[in-house]
Amino acid sequence: MNNIYHRYLKLPFEYPKPDHLLVKPKTSYNSCVHLKDVLPEFVSWVESYGCKLSNVIEIFHTPASGGSVPIHTDSGNKPGVFDCAKINFTWGPEDSVTRWWTVTDEKKLIKIINPKNSQTNDDFQQKGIMPDIPTNANHIAKVTDVTLAHEIVVNRPTLFNAGQLHSTFNANPTQDRWTLSFVPLALDGEMISFPQALEIFKDCIE
């Protein structure tokens, strides 16, 4: 299979689980953190590749006992049209997974417009963060309209294709799963596609 979905990253530092930041979202499955709270070694590492971090830094929580983040993309573009790259750090049990999906018929893709005060954007507003990348649209699809394309246990840093449909599932009876998700940007603020990210970060790809 041509893996267009993810790569594990071998990084020269460890990102300790930031327990003080991992607060359960009140209204949705995501919340966010400030750039100032990001591990300085990670910020420097991104900068060493001629990139910078977006201030859109999300926390995804997948609760124990069958919790899930539903099938979605992170982008207003259709899958395959400039798929956006993210760098994710996940702390969770070995029986929790990330899945990518392919829609059986493109007409079944559902575009979601997220107004500024939507659940998706609520926490940015509350924390006084003005997103420096578009957060106003993404796509979802029903589980009956997709087929499973790829599934992994995310137990190390990952270069992540967030432009393809994806979801999480946590089968563990007691342990929650947490992800900190970052968007690397070019220095001019432009987003980086997954294929571009493969090239930029190639010496850290396992």
Least distance CB 65 / Fe ion (angstroms): 21
In terms of Cα–Cα distance, which of 53, 54, 56, 59 is closest to 21?
59
Which residue, 58 or 174, has its beta carbon nearer to Fe ion? 58
Least distance CB 88 / Fe ion (angstroms): 9
Which residue, 73 or 172, has its beta carbon nearer to Fe ion? 73
In this chain, which stretch among 8-16, 19-27, 73-81, 187-195 interacts with Fe ion, using CB under 5 A?
73-81
Least distance CB 74 / Fe ion (angstroms): 4
- Residues, the chain: 206
Which residue, 74 or 145, has its beta carbon nearer to Fe ion? 74
In terms of Cα–Cα distance, which of 31, 102, 104, 97 is closest to 73?
102
Calpha distance 13→10 (Å, rounded): 9
In this chain, which stretch among 69-77, 109-117, 125-133, 197-205 interacts with Fe ion, using CB under 5 A?
69-77
**Beta-strand runs (E) in 78-145:** 85-91, 96-103, 110-113, 137-140
The residue sitting closest to Fe ion, measured at its beta carbon, is 74
In this chain, which stretch among 2-10, 37-45, 72-80, 197-205 interacts with Fe ion, using CB under 5 A?
72-80
Q: What are phi and psi of 48, to 5 degrees?
A: -70, -15
In this chain, which stretch among 28-36, 68-76, 88-96, 194-202 interacts with Fe ion, using CB under 5 A?
68-76
Tell me the sheet residues that pair with 85. 161
**Given phi > 0 = left and psi -120 to 50 = alpha, else beta, which region is 82?**
left
Token pair of 57 as six digits:
């830094």
Which residue, 42 or 160, has its beta carbon nearer to Fe ion? 160
Q: Where are the alpha helices (DSSP H) in 94-191?
A: 119-126
Least distance CB 166 / Fe ion (angstroms): 6
> By rule CB under 5 A, what count of residues binds Fe ion?
1
Which residue, 70 or 195, has its beta carbon nearer to Fe ion? 70
Which residue, 172 or 179, has its beta carbon nearer to Fe ion? 179
| 8-state DSSP, 76 | S
Q: Where are the alpha helices (DSSP H) in the chain?
A: 40-47, 119-126, 194-200
Least distance CB 86 / Fe ion (angstroms): 8
Residue 74 engages Fe ion in binding (rule: CB under 5 A): yes
- Give the residues lining the site for Fe ion (CB under 5 A): 74
